[in-house]
């Protein structure tokens, strides 16, 4: 609602297009939280902390993580395909590699220290996505 309200305030019309990058930012932020929850799944379960990862179980929480990333990528591609965004706008897709690398590591390790690194990598990639897309749209 906030995205649509701000968009309307600036351009005096409504459009569904601003919802796409807003949803992507939300999906990527959720992916950051999910990495944290998967990393802490055993200790959370032991301490009675019922996170989504605890409810889903490790394997399904990792599948959920891949779904978050896949949907974020799909919505980004739709957004970029619909608008005549200059090539620099497409640079936001550069974060796909570090995000998928981190997701692969999430699947293959339970080492808390390594997963903390993947949490950092996912968070930084999310920041870079937002910055690169913003730069691209500034030239639109």
| Residue 125 falls inside a structural domain | yes
From CA 32, how far away is CA 54, in angstroms rounded?
A: 16
From CA 96, how far away is CA 99, in angstroms rounded?
A: 5
| Residue 1 falls inside a structural domain | no
User: 129 near 90, Cβ under 8 Å?
Assistant: no
| Residue 7 falls inside a structural domain | no
State pLDDT tens for residues 43-82: 999 999 999 999 999 999 999 999 999 999 999 999 999 9
State pLDDT tens for residues 92-134: 999 999 999 999 999 999 999 999 999 999 999 999 999 998 8
User: 109 near 57, Cβ under 8 Å?
Assistant: no
In CATH, what number is assigned to the domain containing residue 116? 1.20.120.1780
| Residue 9 falls inside a structural domain | no
**Structural domain total, the chain:** 1
From CA 114, how far away is CA 126, in angstroms rounded?
A: 18
Can you read off the two tokens belonging to residue 61?
Answer: 């929480």
| Residue 2 falls inside a structural domain | no
| Residue 97 falls inside a structural domain | yes
Residue 57: give the domain boundaries. Answer: 16-138
pLDDT at 55 (0 to 100) = 98
Place of tokens 């968009």: 7
| Residue 112 falls inside a structural domain | yes
């Amino acid at each position: 609602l906030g995205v649509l309200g701000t968009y309307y305030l600036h351009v005096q019309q409504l459009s569904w297009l601003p919802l796409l990058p807003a949803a992507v930012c939300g999906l990527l932020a959720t992916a950051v939280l999910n990495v944290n929850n998967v990393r802490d799944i055993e200790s959370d379960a032991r301490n009675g902390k019922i996170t989504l990862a605890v409810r889903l179980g490790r394997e399904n929480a990792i599948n959920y993580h891949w779904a978050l990333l896949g949907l974020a990528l799909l919505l980004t591609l739709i957004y970029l395909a619909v608008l005549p965004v200059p090539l620099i706008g497409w640079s936001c897709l550069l974060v796909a590699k570090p995000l998928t690398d981190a997701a692969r590591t999430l699947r293959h390790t339970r080492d808390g220290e390594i997963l903390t690194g993947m949490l950092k990598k996912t968070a930084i990639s999310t920041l870079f996505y937002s910055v690169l897309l913003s730069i691209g749209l500034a030239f639109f």
